Structure 1
Amino acid sequence: MDRYVTSPMSVFTVEEPGHCDASRPPPGRRRASCNLLMQLILLLFALLALCGVASQIYYLSKVQAKLEATQEMVNMKFEAQQMRMKTAFRDGQLFPSAHLTGLTVKKNTSLDIPLQWESAHGLAFLHEMEYSDGSLRCKKSGLYFVYSKLQLGVVCEKVDPSLLFTHSVKLRTMGSVTQLMVNSGGFCNNQGSQIWKKSSFLGSSFLLEEGDEIFVNMSDRSLLRAQLQSATFFGLFML
């Protein structure tokens, strides 16, 4: 009897589509994990950027508040009592400041000599500032708002109407003098007017260093009317 010998059949297995090793996540799931990680990283950067923007907005709001307070004073009538209250205290803190009144007008005085003021009586005061011979001397460097108001008046029959007055605030530092602010104008130029009256105001912010001196000059001192300490004054305060 013949015997037929058959060789063992090879067995091939074919994975069905969509089947993968359970130990390795499918490509779609890996992509989803990467996308989630990228989204988390982007969210972190966005939060950091928002924190930076928020801090800048807070700083700018503080600066704007100070500028608005300064602008409010510029738009006021600048009565001395109001200026005094504004300059001395802000947010419960006392800043370097000074308010001078009681201008002393002396005839035949050289224009190189600053106007002289009252620094201790009435509405006048000094805080972390020094006053000497018409000048305020800074004891602490910083940004300051400097202001000066002069009340002017004259009987027109006694003056030349073609003349001009010059009201200026100057800075003396390291032996040199710099003009910070100036206001010039004519007087007695209104027809039919026997008495001329006007106020001249100067005010702005300046960066001052320790030891700097600020003073006020007036070209025609015969125009000065200093009877009221609420009408003529000079001062500064740190912002």
Structure 2
Amino acid sequence: MDKYGRPPMSVFTVEDYIQPSAPSISMVSRKSGRGTLLIQAVLLFFSLLALCGAASEIYYLMKVESSIRNLLLNGSATQGMIQGNVPQKMIFRPGFRDGPPLPSAHVTGLVVGDPSSNSPLEWEHTRGLAFLHEVEYNNGSLVCSKSGLYFIYSKLQLGSPKCPKDTKNSVFSHQVLKRSLNSKIPMIESIRRFCDIPGSSTWRGSSFLGGTFMLAKGNEVYVSMSHKNLIRVQGDTMTFFGMFMVSTAFDQ
């Protein structure tokens, strides 16, 4: 026995290690639940924005379609659509039921009577595809009845059963001329060789002229051909001549 009077200890005790307490499951689930709700709310917000944008676009397209339909039904589509980009002098005309809307003419080819003459080419102007609208026909000429800017065109279907051996005689001239008072003014001209291989058996070709010109009231326009024997009429679609007004000479 020691001096303190305390018996020796035969039993040893070890204190247990106390781990720190973890947060409760309810707290974690509550926080994660709030985060999920926030994400869902953001996604729902953007989805609503996208739906609103799509709905407004569909509504706008429906209004545009309705406006176009109304314009077409009222017969004023040319005037009303995109009015800022359309020339103000452009006037809508109701189709071709009562004739072309502006002065115009289209005449078709006829069999040439005298190939050696220098007279203007004669044309069919009453039958088939031919027509005259505010343009007169006079001995092969188209007579302008209203001053303005016109597009004038002429197409000849050509052919030769036998080409000449001398290449000097294998060049033709196709012209569109204007007759004003007593003067003749060439407007468009084409000079070409009609036989590529001298002495060959056959040759086929064509010549087309076209351009825009100012015409005054009373001007006559006609077609001249140096080698009339080359012309092949072949119905209304191969050889023709015509003009149509592009715009009037003065604003009205």
Same fold (TM over 0.5): yes
> 1:216 is matched with which residue: 205, 210, 223?
223
CA RMSD of aligned residues (A): 2.6
1:162–1:186 CA contact under 8 A, matched in 2: no
How far apart are residue 102 of structure 1 and its match? 2.9
Q: Does 1:207 align with 2:214?
A: yes
1:165 corresponds to? 172
Which structure has the highest strand share of the two? 1
Which stretch shows the higher mean deviation, 162-171 or 182-191?
182-191
1:135 is aligned with what amino acid? S
SS of match in other structure, 1:104: coil
| Cα shift readout 1:163-203 (whole Å, capped 9, x = no counterpart) | 21000000001211100000111122236842111110000
Letter in 2 for 1:235: G
Q: Distance in 2 between matches of 1:135 and 1:237?
A: 14
The letter of the residue matching 2:206 is: S
**Quick one: which amino acid aligns to residue 187 of structure 2?**
L
Structure 2 unaligned spans of 5+: 1-81, 247-252
Match of 1:15 in 2: none
8 Å CA contact retained: 2:152, 2:243: yes
Helix, strand or coil for the counterpart of 1:94? Answer: coil
Structure 2 counterpart of 1:124, from 126, 130, 139: 130
Structure-2 residue corresponding to 1:137: 143
Distance 1:167 1:101 in 2: 16
Say if 1:180 and 1:157 are closer, same or farther in 2 by CA, change over 3 A. closer
Query: 1:103, CA displacement in angstroms?
Result: 2.1
1:234 is matched with 241
Q: Amino acid of the residue matched to residue 181 of structure 1?
A: I
Paired with 2:108 and 2:100, the residues of 1 have a C-alpha distance of 23
| Conservation of the 8 A alpha-carbon contact between 1:144 and 1:237 | yes
Aligned 8 A contact 1:138 1:211 in 2? yes
1:64-120: CA deviation from partner (whole Å, max 9, x where unpaired): xxxxxxxxxxxxxxxxxxxxxxxx95xx96110000003230225421x10000000
Structure 1 residue ranges without an equivalent (≥5) = 1-53, 63-87
Q: 1:178 to 1:144 in 2, by over 3 A?
A: same
Partners of 1:118 and 1:217 lie apart in 2 by 16
* Distance in 1 separating the partners of 2:182 and 2:157: 30
- TM-score, normalised with respect to structure 2: 0.57
Q: Aligned partners of 1:214 and 1:172: how far apart in 2?
A: 6
Partner amino acid for 2:138? S
CA distance in 2, matches of 1:136, 1:190: 36
Structure 2 counterpart of 1:148: 154
In structure 2, the residue matched to 1:105 is: 112
Residue pairs, 1:34-73, within 5 angstroms? 58-59=86-87
